[in-house]
Amino acid sequence: MSEMLVRAAEPPDRIAVDALHEREWGGPYVIAHDVRYDLRELPTLVAVDGAVDGTATVLGALVWRADDDGLEVVSIVADSSGGGVGSTLLAAAIEESRARRAGRLWLITSNDNLRALRFYQRRGLRIVAVDRGAVDRARRLKPTIPTVGEDGIPLHDELVLELRLAPEPTD
**Among 97, 107, 90, which residue's Cα sits nearest to residue 33?**
107
**Per-residue model confidence (pLDDT) at position 82:** 84
- pLDDT tens-digit map of 105-135: 999 999 999 999 999 999 999 999 999 999 9
- pLDDT tens-digit map of 15-48: 999 999 999 999 999 999 999 999 999 999 999 9
Instruction: Tell how strand 29-32 and strand 35-38 pair up.
Output: antiparallel
CATH class of segment(s) 4-164: alpha beta
Q: Where are the domains of the chain?
A: 4-164
